[in-house]
Chain A
Amino acid sequence: MEGLQLLLTGFAAALSWQNLLFAFIGCVLGTLIGVLPGLGPAAGTAILIPLTFKLDATGAIIMLAAIYYGAMYGGTITSVLINVPGEAASVVTCLDGYQMARQGRAGTALGIAAIGSFAGGVVAALALAMVAPPLARFALSFGPPEFFALMFLGMCLVTGLAGKSLAAGLLMTIFGLLLSLIGIDPVRGAPRFTFDVPELYDGLGFVPVVMGLFGVAEILLMIESPFRQLLDTKIKGLWPSREEWKRSSGAIGRGTVIGFVLGLIPGVGAVIPTFMAYIVEKRLSRHPERFGTGVIEGVAAPETANNAYANAAMVPLLVLGVPSSPTIAIIMGAFIINGLTPGPFLFKERPDLVWTVIASFFTGNVILLILNLPLVGLWARLLKVPYQYLCVGTLLFCIVGAYSLKGTVFDVGVMLVFGVIGYFLRKLGLPLAPAVLALILGPFMEKSLRTSLEMSAGDFGIFLTRPISATLLAGAALVIAVSTFKFATLKAMKEAESK
């Protein structure tokens, strides 16, 4: 109940015209980004960060969060209309959504996706408000060893679940961690890895690096293999029939639970909840053979899970300060740019901000529903924008964003370098998520580790003698063991198949 009371105070601020405007702009831009094929939530959030530079912290976070879940929904539109997922989490929606569009039911597919997203988002935001206060209170008892162990566990989860090889995931994590250590040592003040370049004394900017890895790299890939699919689907009849409602309601309920629960676990990503929600519906269905031919549950379940996940993924960030995906890491970057460190202390020091942001998830979901039901035809028309103009516009935004944070051309250069790195990493299929997470958590992790070792006079036993940190480290060891087993089993299965 405490959470609900605090949420009501948050609503008072979230319903101010300024914050409603920020949520509205965020939803519009997010949906726009999601609709444009190739640009996912991570790229969209990174590219649009500069728009929030001059806003107050609350407005900036509200707008970025709205961009995030707006992009998540926007990806659905392309999945249904042209069988091209706007982002990875919408892949499963293509299976039945596109089939529905081919049968002339694109409107119903988009309608149920919007309604499911709304239901999943609102219920998940409500659950977030209930779960967050006790979790934050518990996390207040954490000292440096516990925070180190927690960040270590978060990184193990992201590393273990990303990519084709555990070793490759670990390498990308270490790469990100090392990049995050460039600059002045936060504990002793010594310059590190600056190679006498003055601009490196402040470290590599998080914004230029993620803009490069996600924004520029994505555009370079798009330039190499242009997207040329034409839209020829007509959208009509958004509201589902009574029979379709009946079939969708259970799927929406189950999708919400699956999305919320999996969203609480760092590293799971949005793809797993959507696939799991789809598989659960298929298993529970009396006609599983119809899945893939245009059944409405096949759209309702993953879309609901997708948005429930997006809202639940804010819990580890707000409560523990651990982002669970690259997009959430970018939102954490926005917190840091505004001089705030997400985590339990934020609940204590800035409850006004935290609860306004949580309340804005509700207002944002309402705005998203209003935007998406009547205006879906308008969004669909954006698919006709020639890709050349889209690419150039995005690159222009990246240049402005990279330059404007510190006002140096050096950061634009950093963005281009990481754009090329991201382009090759994407081509090779090497995971970017662990590197981005490590890049943002690196300084906090090092500080926690060194403070812990100073507390114990250099004794590593401090991590094992404190129950919470020992438990978290045991969890991390378990994740690594399970990931190793998973990769070994997959390899063995492939070898057996090839024989």
Chain B
Amino acid sequence: MKRGWQAAVAALLLIFAVFAYESFKLSLSDTLGPGPGFFPFWLGALGAVLSVILLVQLHLGRVDVSDEALVFEPAGMRSVAAALGGLIAATALLDVLGFRMAMLFLIPFLLVVLGARNRTAIAICAGAGSFGVYHVFFDLLKVPLPVGIFGL
């Protein structure tokens, strides 16, 4: 767990440093008062200082972080990675294929990855989750959803 915290705080330190650097390029003050860079610069600087302090505290063992290792269950992680892969692919194809087609592929994929085996239930869910949800949101609730190159 300690390693995980160290990695997270180091990532935050990097983010704060980028924000502080980018803010510094904006004006910190002008004739009217504080400029657009004022608030984010000081926040970034404060965040960077606190990150360093926390990293030192973690190194010295002065933060109440569990000694247990961060547990990632291998089988569970494979499902998480596959689900994320499917979600990223569907998102990338959302504008091209349209909501209905993208979901028609994504829903059965996710269900199979998560262990569903009943083909009828999977088919019903795919239909309801793609065409059904589109009908409810687009036609009834008037919420715009993407239409792809096939007009679906």
Interface residue ranges, A against B (CB under 8 Å)? 50-51, 53-54, 164-165, 167-168, 170-171, 174-175, 177-178, 181, 185, 187-188, 190, 192-193, 220, 223-226, 386-389, 391-393, 395-396, 399-400, 403-404, 407, 409, 412-413, 416, 420, 423-425, 427-430, 446, 449-450, 453-454, 457-458, 487, 490-491, 494
Task: Give, as a whole number of angstroms, the nearest-CB distance from A223 to chain B.
Answer: 5
B101 at the interface (CB under 8 A from A): no
Give the CA-CA distance A19 to B57 in the complex, in Å.
53
Give the complex CA separation of A120 and B117 in angstroms: 45
Known contacts A178-B16, A185-B36, A388-B114; A50 and B143 CB within 8 A of each other: yes
Is B29's CB under 8 angstroms from A458's CB? yes
Known: A392-B110, A392-B129, A427-B70. A164 touches B144 (CB 8 A): no
Contact A392 B94 (CB under 8 A): no
Chain A nearest Cβ from B7, distance in angstroms: 9
Cβ-neighbour of A416 out of B4, B76, B87 (below 8 A): B87
B137 contact from A174, A400, A490, Cβ within 8 A: A400
A392 CB contacts on chain B under 8 angstroms: 107, 110-111, 114, 125, 129
Q: Is B146 in contact with chain A by the CB < 8 A criterion?
A: yes
CA A34 to CA B92, docked complex, whole Å: 32
Are B53 and A167 in touch, CB under 8 angstroms?
Answer: yes
> Which partner residue on chain A sits nearest B62 by CB separation?
A491
A225 touches B73 (CB 8 A): yes
Q: Is the CB of B76 within 8 A of A223?
A: yes
Q: Please tell me the size bucket of the interface on B.
A: 35 or more
Q: Number of A-B pairs whose CB atoms are under 8 Å?
A: 187
Q: Is the CB of B142 within 8 A of A174?
A: no
Chain B residues with a Cβ under 8 A of chain A: 1, 4-5, 8-9, 12, 15-16, 19, 22-23, 26, 29-30, 32-40, 43-44, 46-47, 50-51, 53-54, 57, 62-66, 70, 72-73, 76-77, 79-80, 83-84, 87-88, 90-92, 94-95, 99, 103, 107, 110-111, 114-116, 121, 125, 129, 133, 137, 141-146
With known contacts A188-B35, A225-B73, A388-B116, A174–B46 Cβ distance under 8 A: yes
B54 touches A416 (CB 8 A): no
Q: What separation, in Å, do the CA atoms of A54 and B137 have in the docked complex?
A: 10
- A487–B63 Cα distance when bound, in Å, is 9
Q: How far is the CA of A170 from the CA of B116 in the complex (A)?
A: 42
B86 (CB) vs chain A CBs: closest residue: A395
CA distance A430 to B43 in the complex (A): 19
CA distance A25 to B76 in the complex (A): 34
B residues in contact with A167, CB < 8 Å: 50, 53-54, 57, 63
Contact status B43-A220, CB under 8 Å: no
Structural contact, A193 and B22, CB atoms closer than 8 A = yes
Closest to B25 in A: A192
Q: Is the CB of A171 within 8 A of B12?
A: yes
- Asked if A449 and B36 make an inter-chain contact with CB atoms under 8 angstroms apart, the answer reads no
With contact pairs A403-B145, A404-B137 given, residues A388 and B47 touching in the complex (Cβ less than 8 Å):
no
Least distance between A222 CB and chain B CB atoms (Å): 9
> By the criterion CB–CB under 8 Å, are B54 and A53 in contact?
no
CB closest chain-A residue, reference B39: A446
Which 9 pairs show the lowest CB-CB distances between chains A and B?
A224-B76, A454-B33, A185-B36, A174-B47, A388-B114, A388-B116, A167-B54, A190-B36, A404-B143
Q: A177, A400, A457 — which one has the most chain B CB atoms within 10 A of its CB? A: A400
- Cα A420 to Cα B80 in complex, Å, equals 10
Q: Give the docked Cα–Cα distance between A50 and B137 (Å).
A: 9
**Complex formed: what's the CA distance from A223 to B121 in Å?**
19
CB within 8 A of A396: which of B30, B133, B141, B143? Answer: B133
**Which residue of chain B has its CB nearest to the CB of A165?**
B63
A420 neighbours in B (Cβ, 8 Å):
84
Output the least CB separation between B95 and chain A (Å): 5
User: Which residue of chain B is the closest to A494 with respect to CB atoms?
Assistant: B64
Question: B47 contacts which chain A residues (CB < 8 A)?
Answer: 171, 174-175, 178
Q: A400 near B16 (CB under 8 angstroms)?
A: no
18 CB-based A-B contacts, threshold 8 Å: A54-B142, A165-B57, A165-B65, A174-B46, A178-B19, A181-B43, A188-B35, A188-B36, A192-B22, A223-B80, A391-B83, A392-B129, A403-B99, A424-B4, A424-B8, A450-B33, A450-B34, A453-B34
* B129 and chain A: residue at smallest CB distance: A396
Is the pair B70, A449 in contact by a Cβ cutoff of 8 Å?
A: no
Interface centre among A193, A389, A487 (most CB of B within 10 A): A389
